[in-house]
Amino acid sequence: MVVGWFKKLKTSLSKSSDKISGGIKKILKSKKIDESTLQELEELMISSDLGVDSSSKIIQELKKSKLLNPSSEKVKEIIKKKLKEILAPLEKKIDLTKNLFVILVVGVNGVGKTATIGKLAEKFLKDGKKVGMVAADTFRAAAVEQLKIWADRTKSEFFSAKELSDPAALAYKSVITATEKKLDILLIDTAGRLHNKTDLMNELSKIIRVIKKIDESIPSETILILDGNIGQNSIRQAEVFKEICDIDSLIVTKLDGSAKGGALIPIAEKLKIPISFIGTGESKEDLAQFDADQFCSALLGIE
């Protein structure tokens, strides 16, 4: 991650980091680290969405360090070390070596699936890959239109079918055609909302079942998109999707403007699913490879 990007990440996470960093400063102001400051720090961590377990681990670490009158910078470094221990093993770089590499993108409505597909396509295009997109959200005509705009913007091949046609059949045909056309990557957009949860899950499992008929290793990567504003409720969303598919990685979107950036820690700790990218805005460049070190620094307002 380049310096410019770190600056952007810091700005994106500023709502979250202002709360944590400002809170630490206030708590430590001319105070020693004792039971009551530790309790205040723990409450701050919990109210900053870091989760009860991680917050308690952080406090244990601070206790162990036996600091008497530390600067807030020192305390932030200790917190960062602990958070990094949780997040670093979950950094994921998607290995795109296989052709055709099929990425299935899932998640509830509005989390940012379609926009993230656009941003991924932009990234892959810059790496010289030939990219295709499948509008397998055939539930809404507007969803097809929205993906088409991203396909045009990123010079990607576009695969679609009529409204309300079978998304599994479209996905199947698209994988065959994309292989024939020697595309490198195929991104499959799926619906986030159907009549009810059972419909949504049945549709998704059918898509997976059908494309597996072409090759058991497809989808090459299933990505669950989570909205960074939802905080720890994302854990429940992920558990529902885990019942239907093997999630290979997470992308957490909308970290810009979210005050709940800290929730990435309990999410990661609970789900143990790797994080491939994070989304920090609505434009096609607003997606970055997840880097635990940079994320923790930005979250804690460390330079």
Ligand X SMILES: Nc1nc2c(ncn2[C@@H]2O[C@H](COP(=O)(O)OP(=O)(O)OP(=O)(O)O)[C@@H](O)[C@H]2O)c(=O)[nH]1
Q: Can you give the binding site for ligand X, defined by CB under 6 A?
A: 107, 109-115, 137, 143, 192-193, 253-254, 256-257, 279-282, 286
Q: Does 72 interact with Mg ion (rule: CB under 5 A)?
A: no
284 binds, among Mg ion, ligand X, none (CB under 5 to 8 A by kind): none
Q: Which of 21, 114, 280, 294 binds Mg ion (CB under 5 A)?
A: 114
Select 27 or 288, whichever has its Cβ closest to ligand X: 288
184 binds, among Mg ion, ligand X, none (CB under 5 to 8 A by kind): none
107 binds, among Mg ion, ligand X, none (CB under 5 to 8 A by kind): ligand X
Cα 87 to chain centroid distance, Å, stands at 13
Which residues face 222 on adjacent strands?
Answer: 104
Name the closest residue to ligand X (Cβ).
192
Closest approach of Cβ 82 to Mg ion, in Å? 36
Question: Applying CB under 5 A, what is the total number of residues that bind Mg ion?
Answer: 2
Select 114 or 237, whichever has its Cβ closest to Mg ion: 114
Closest approach of Cβ 256 to ligand X, in Å? 5
Structure tokens at 297: 């620094």
Q: Does 276 interact with Mg ion (rule: CB under 5 A)?
A: no
Closest approach of Cβ 281 to Mg ion, in Å? 17
Q: Does 253 interact with Mg ion (rule: CB under 5 A)?
A: no
Name the closest residue to Mg ion (Cβ).
114
Closest approach of Cβ 57 to ligand X, in Å? 28
